[in-house]
């Protein structure tokens, strides 16, 4: 009985130290849903010159929130962050160069 209680407490502590509480995850999901609604609103509301930067910023914020909180990268070993962001930065760099070769950014 004592062992069971200790085991349960240990696993619960591990879960808390591993990330956030369930309420925290629900809060993050609510923020993500709100940002998605704001993204969709840009199709119907004229944001003028802010349209493209606003969309890209909202996309980046959603991306970082999912990676940091849902994928626990914010709380995990920094080596995991390096593995993932190295691939991501390499991909962005390689394909930005690829698109620049085809004059994509000056169309």
- Short-list 32, 19, 27, CA closest to 73: 19
Query: What gap in Å lies between CA 54 and CA 76, rounded to an integer?
Result: 30
Least distance to another protein, CB of residue 82, Å: 9
Name residue, tokens 């993204």: 39
Name residue, tokens 């925290």: 24
Least distance to another protein, CB of residue 24, Å: 10
Interface pattern 40-79 for another protein (x via CB under 8 A): x-xx--------x--xx-xx--xx--xx-xxx----xx-x
Pick 50 or 63: Cβ nearer another protein? 63
């Amino acid at each position: 009985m004592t062992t069971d209680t200790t085991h349960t407490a240990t696993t619960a502590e591990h879960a808390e130290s591993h990330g956030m509480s369930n309420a925290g995850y629900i809060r993050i999901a609510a923020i993500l849903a709100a940002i998605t609604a704001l993204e969709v609103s840009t199709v119907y509301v004229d944001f003028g010159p802010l349209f493209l930067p606003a969309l890209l910023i909202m996309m980046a914020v959603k991306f970082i929130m999912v990676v940091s909180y849902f994928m626990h990268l914010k709380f995990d070993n920094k080596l995991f962050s390096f593995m993932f962001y190295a691939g991501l930065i390499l991909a962005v760099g390689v394909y930005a160069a690829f698109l620049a070769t085809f004059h994509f950014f000056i169309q």
